[in-house]
Chains A and B, each alone.
Chain A
């Protein structure tokens, strides 16, 4: 732990030096030229705007009291911090590469990670930039609902702790396929398990890559493609050379940076409220900007609230999450899906015993939970000190709330500190992205190299050297594909991809993992039916859900604009023309209408068939049902005979030496 803090200390010192070396550099100008409004990784963002549309001159002043329209990190300081993170992590990769000789080293760090280390690594693996920036942003814009949204991400770990962590450590080796193929036909089961792992990892990786690209673009002005390629090269470097050992330490460092950043910022926020939590809430409720913002927000629903009532409304539910069934469906995907996420499951193979696995989940729960509680302070703090209007002016999804808060809190002490603090948080976001994508690439590579290549193609006959080679080559390919997908998916909706990854993990992976561990009759047919039906149901429902773009609905919206503008024109005196602004809007709406009026969604629909944005509430029961029906339709004596073995193993860890033997 000590070295981490030394590293952070060094980072700060060096940045100060870098700043001092270039005194001419002015802090971000308050009258910034362009409004950048590309939503990054946020659960709230609806459609990700193309950067071309977003970078419009900020001609019309918003109603917001804050004039600043963009957040610009000081490049010198930020790049210095990035360089330090890259240098430290590369040092770890060199060290880890020397210790990575066998497949067990590559996939599971030789089983030599301690419970505490693994706890930090799980936290680092799990908390993505979306939870770091997105949730505090949601709180800063929608108050209570943002906080409520964050709860499910922690509660999910109860399932991990009670149901999957220890049995997986006792019964598994490197991958999901290892657990599922224990008492079934190994080849088909491994192939399907690998397919499902790669599916989940691809959705989640794409979401992270797109988020990373947008974030880097927004924060330090690196072009989208450059950011994706840069992040991609680093992630491939960590995984290919350092395997699980390097990935683990990158995740630990990231978790330490993230926790210290959130902690420091929370202290500054609470210091302003005199460390009085009740006073802090008084500040929220009494803040005129929040009152004004909330009363406008509820006015859309036809409710009139003013003054204190409006301020109080900000800390009551229902400003953002207005579809309870969708919420419950998302909650189910989180509570079940986290325990079915391949990159999370894989972390339990890195510890030597079930006790260490248990300890690691508990440590991770305290870190993750503590982080989300701090996030509340950050989100509300941002709302108080920067106003929701000001946050929205910088990024419509609120993703920059934490960053803006860091700059403001630091600058209140001294402008230099504001810049350094902002640069530090940019570096944290950068480390966050690297840690999460590395874990995903590793889990996808393990599924392909270990399950498909070694166990299906080579029948398990591959020596250590060949296994490690296969793992490295696969990681390289997976990483390269990840970069390409990241670039192609620039305009994809990140929130949908994240929801999809969790839904597939919850509907496909979790039912079969649970039944493998707890149901005697469970067999090959059950695994295959459960995985396929769960995965296909989750993806299929999403394809016909309101998440997709429905051109006819877009055209209908454009039609309304056209009608309104035409009415306006008709009302004008003869000969007069519309203002330039309106004329342009009319032209644009006309184009949108023409382009969309005859279109249909990706699967040829005019409007969604499935009413919810989150498919979990239907697809999870379908996954369970398919697994049960498949099992009962094709009973297997072998699977039942081997039940005693897996059940004793998963409960006691007897015979586990085999799993970590190398």
Chain B
């Protein structure tokens, strides 16, 4: 297959690409840091705030259990939110950029 050659430096300066990569970087690293901090609250909390984790919320179900369970839903939430933003924003910007090049 004959390969199309691109002027990578020019694409990198294209305002569409600059917008894409600014939005993406902020989103990806921001949410990664959030999810990581949220996750490490679990082992840290279990070790240093056992009193909080023992509080019974629903019948015998305690805060610690609900917090651990929430980790799953937070992870899924971030995943779905990311898919939503990526499908709507990032993919659109990419498509516009690619069509500009052809």
A residues bordering B, Cβ < 8 Å?
144-145, 147-148, 151-152, 154-155, 157-159, 161-163, 277-279, 281-282, 284-285, 312, 315-318, 321, 324, 327-328, 331, 335, 355, 358-359, 361-362, 365-366, 369, 372-373, 644-645, 647-648, 651-655, 657-658, 661
> What are 27 A-B pairs with beta-carbon distances under 8 A?
A144-B68, A145-B46, A151-B72, A154-B71, A154-B72, A157-B75, A158-B79, A162-B32, A162-B78, A278-B58, A279-B59, A281-B65, A312-B54, A312-B60, A315-B64, A316-B64, A317-B53, A317-B64, A355-B91, A358-B86, A365-B79, A369-B76, A373-B69, A373-B72, A644-B8, A648-B8, A655-B3
- The size bracket of the interface on B is 35 or more
Establish whether residues A163 and B3, one from each chain, have CB atoms under 8 Å apart when the complex forms.
Answer: no
Are A158 and B61 CB-contacts (below 8 A) given A369-B76, A644-B11, A651-B21? no
Task: Give Cα A648–Cα B40 distance, bound, in whole angstroms.
Answer: 33
In the bound complex, residues from chain B placing their C-beta under 8 Å from that of A647 are: 12, 21
CB-based contact A155/B71 at 8 Å: yes
Contact with A along B1-30 (1 / 0, CB 8 A): 101101011011000010011001000110
In the complex with contacts A373-B69, A657-B1, A661-B1, A144-B97 CB distance below 8 A: no
**B71 in complex: contacting residue of A144, A145, A151, A285, CB < 8 Å:** A151
B49 to chain A, nearest CB (A): 10
- A209 to chain B: closest CB distance in Å? 30
A155-B71, A277-B61 are known contacts; what are 5 more A-B pairs with Cβ within 8 Å?
A: A152-B39, A162-B32, A318-B47, A331-B40, A647-B12
The distance in angstroms between the C-alpha atoms of A144 and B47, with both chains bound, is 13
Whether A316 and B54, one on each chain, are in contact in the complex, defined by CB atoms closer than 8 angstroms, is yes
Q: How far is the CB of B81 from chain A (nearest CB, A)?
A: 11
Q: Which of A147, A331, A369, A648 contacts B65 (CB 8 A)?
A: A147
Q: How far is the CB of B43 from chain A (nearest CB, A)?
A: 4
List of A residues within 8 angstroms of B61 by Cβ: 277-278, 281, 315
Q: Which of B25-53 contact A (CB under 8 A)?
A: 28-29, 31-32, 35-36, 39-40, 42-44, 46-48, 50, 53
**With A152-B39, A316-B50, A335-B39 known to touch, is A162 a contact of B62 (CB < 8 Å)?**
no
CB distance from B87 to the nearest CB of A (A): 8
Chain A, interface SS category: helix
A285 and B1 contact, CB distance less than 8 A: no
The distance from the CB of B39 to the nearest CB of chain A, in whole angstroms, is 4
Q: A154-B72, A155-B75, A162-B82 are in contact. Are A316 and B62 (CB under 8 A)?
A: yes
Report the minimum CB–CB distance from A328 to chain B (whole Å). 5
B28: contacting residue among A155, A162, A365, CB under 8 A: A162
Interface contact A161-B60, CB-CB below 8 Å: no
